[in-house]
Amino acid sequence: MPGTNFIKFSELKARIAPFELKTDAETVKTVSIVNVLLERMLNVDAGASTEGRFGMSPGQTLENYMGRAEKYIDALERGEYPLKGKATEPGKALVDHSFVEKDGRMHLFYNRDFVGYEWDTMPVNTVGHAVTDDLVNWTWEAPVLSVDPAKFENYQVWSPGVVEKNGTYYMYYTGVNYNCAQAICLATSRDLYHWEKYGDGPVVKPGPWGSWTPERWSDCRDSMVFVDNDGTAYMYYCTARRRPDGGMETAVGVASSTDMVNWTDRGAYTFDICDITLESPFVLRRGNKYYMFYTNCGHGTAYAVSDDPISGWQSLGMLLPYSIPPECPANVPSCAEVFEFKGQWYISSCLREPGCEQYLELFRLTWNSDGTVTVGERVE
């Protein structure tokens, strides 16, 4: 006789079946996530491990997979769209990402993560690509980049950051080797669809203030590049630096370049309000001020301002806080990018739900006269 969980699995599969006939984007998205959750539930019920190389995070349970799947089915049966306002490639989790506009269309590049699996259980080994005309309706294109067994990034690829200069698009992405050493690698394109990797290895690694080595876990990820008015490019990335007492602390590494390929180390910076990890720094210039938006793990999205692109950052506090203490420090609004599209400013966020559900959300953003910003309604 089948067990109780198999009976429940079969009941939920029967309930989702009528929605498999629908073709609208919201239903297709929701059905794809339900099916992934149910498949993961069945696998775990059959004995599949939920513990990856580095441990197990909250939400990797039968109860969570089944409960969330049933919640989404309940909503569909009520005529609701439970994932409205949350963009993702069908069946995938959408995590670190980058926006770039070309010919009036917005292109999105992103980590193609796996719902129901931690990154150390199911390797994140491709970079996705999507386009939109309105930030609501997305066309999910073919992936543009993957790991390469013959290069440094022989394990995973994370955190694409795309920027244009003189007609060439530069994608700085995190290459991860099997020791989980991370470094910034480069690919280039002229059309955003066809990408060519540069060289045989990383273009940026932490300076002597860090303790980077390819032989073990070393932090050097989540890069983005900002090109200043004089043509100088500045790269910001998540890393760690030595404290005066010899210990390590989370930090933002900074490098600069005039040719987008050869980078000069400019040190590292940290924020007192970060008590766990600082991730996904994003910098832009507005007038004579530089703004940095970043993930304050365990708390949410924070931001800071400076008169200089390299140093002097002054915290402006939390911008997208998480009011409920998360079970996991990563389960907060994160991966923020700020951009203007068709006359409106936006800020992005990817709230990570237990069980590795993560989707792209966009909120309208207003620049205030005092130099602060205000987050408005979500785009739906």
Average pLDDT of span 376-380? 97
Residue 142, domain CATH: 2.115.10.20
pTM score, whole prediction: 0.97
Is the distance from CB of 273 to CB of 242 less than 8 angstroms?
A: no
Q: How many CB atoms lie within 10 A of CB 103?
A: 6
Q: Are residues 53 and 155 in the same domain?
A: no
In a domain, 86, yes or no: no
Same domain, 61 and 104: no
> Model confidence over 246-268: pLDDT tens digits?
899 999 999 999 999 999 999 99
So what's the pLDDT on residue 2?
A: 58
Instruction: Give the pairing type, strands 248-257 and 233-242.
Output: antiparallel
pLDDT value of position 246: 87
Residue 124 placed within a domain:
yes
Mean pLDDT on 59-65: 92
Domain count, the chain: 2
For residue 269, what is the enclosing H or E element? strand 264-269
- DSSP track, 51-80: -BTTB--TT-SHHHHHHHHHHHHHHHHTT-
Question: By percentage, how much of the chain surpasses pLDDT 90?
Answer: 88
In a domain, 290, yes or no: yes
Range of the domain at 43: 4-77
Considering the domain boundaries, does residue 87 fall inside one? no
* 243 neighbors 292 (Cβ within 8 angstroms): no
Q: Is residue 163 part of a domain?
A: yes
Mean of all residue pLDDT scores within the chain: 95
Residue 265: phi and psi, rounded to 5, are -65, 135
Which secondary-structure segment (H or E) carries 276?
A: none
Instruction: Please give the pLDDT value at position 200.
Output: 87
Q: Beta partners for 145?
A: 127
AA letter at 273: I
Q: Is pLDDT of 1 > 50? A: no
Domain for residue 100, yes or no?
Answer: yes
Q: How far apart are CA 191 and CA 148, in angstroms?
A: 22
Q: How many CB atoms lie within 10 A of CB 52?
A: 16
| Contact between 63 and 356 (Cβ < 8 Å) | no
* Choice between 56 and 36, residue whose per-residue pLDDT is larger: 36
Give every CB contact of residue 131 below 8 A, 6+ residues apart in sequence. Answer: 105, 106, 107, 108, 138, 139, 141
Backbone angles phi, psi at 71, to 5 degrees: -60, -45
Map tokens 């066309």 to a residue. Answer: 139
Domain boundary among 77, 109, 127: 77
Is the CB of residue 82 less than 8 Å from the CB of residue 98?
A: no
Asked if residue 360 and residue 224 are part of one domain, the reply reads yes
Kindly list the distances between the CA atom of residue 281 and the CA atoms of 73, 183, 195, 302, 352, in Å, as whole numbers in the listed order: 36, 15, 24, 10, 17
Length of the chain as a residue count:
380
278 in the same domain as 236: yes
Is the pLDDT confidence value at 213 over 70? yes
Task: Give pLDDT tens digits for 86-103.
Answer: 999 999 999 999 999 999
**CA–CA separation, 109 vs 125, rounded Å?**
13
Which whole number is the average pLDDT over 52-70?
Answer: 89
* 282-329 per-position pLDDT tens digit: 999 999 999 999 999 999 999 999 999 999 999 999 999 987 767 788
Q: Is the pLDDT of residue 19 over 50?
A: yes
Residues 150 and 57 in one domain: no
Same domain, 203 and 271: yes
Mean pLDDT of 178-195: 98
Domain boundary among 77, 100, 117: 77
Nearest one of 246, 307, 302 to 274, comparing CA atoms: 302
Is the pLDDT at 218 greater than 60? The verdict is: yes
Instruction: Say whether both 251 and 165 belong to one domain.
Output: yes
Give CA separation, 215 vs 149, 174, 337, in Å.
Answer: 16, 16, 32
What confidence category does residue 3 fall into, taking pLDDT thresholds of 50, 70 and 90? Answer: low
Q: At what angle do helices 25-45 and 4-16 cross, to 10 degrees?
A: 170
Token representation of residue 290: 């530089």
For residue 108, give the DSSP letter: E
Residues 248 and 373 placed together within one structural domain of the fold:
yes
Which is nearest to 177 in space by CA: 159, 198, 199, 201? 201
On whether residue 232 sits in a domain, the answer given is yes
Both 247 and 169 in one domain: the answer is yes
Q: Mark whether 207 and 315 lie in a shared domain.
A: yes
In whole angstroms, give the CA distance from residue 5 to residue 173: 41
47 and 161 housed in the same domain: no
In a domain, 82, yes or no: no
Contact 138, 105 (CB under 8 A): no
Closest to 138 in 3D by CA, of 32, 25, 35: 25
Report in angstroms the alpha-carbon separations of 159 from 31, 145, 172, 200, 213.
27, 12, 8, 19, 20
Q: Within this chain, do residues 118 and 170 fall inside the same structural domain, yes or no?
A: yes
Residue 57 pLDDT: 74
Looking at 46, 77, 108, the residue that finishes a domain is 77
CB contact set of 71 (below 8 Å; sequence gap of 6+): 82
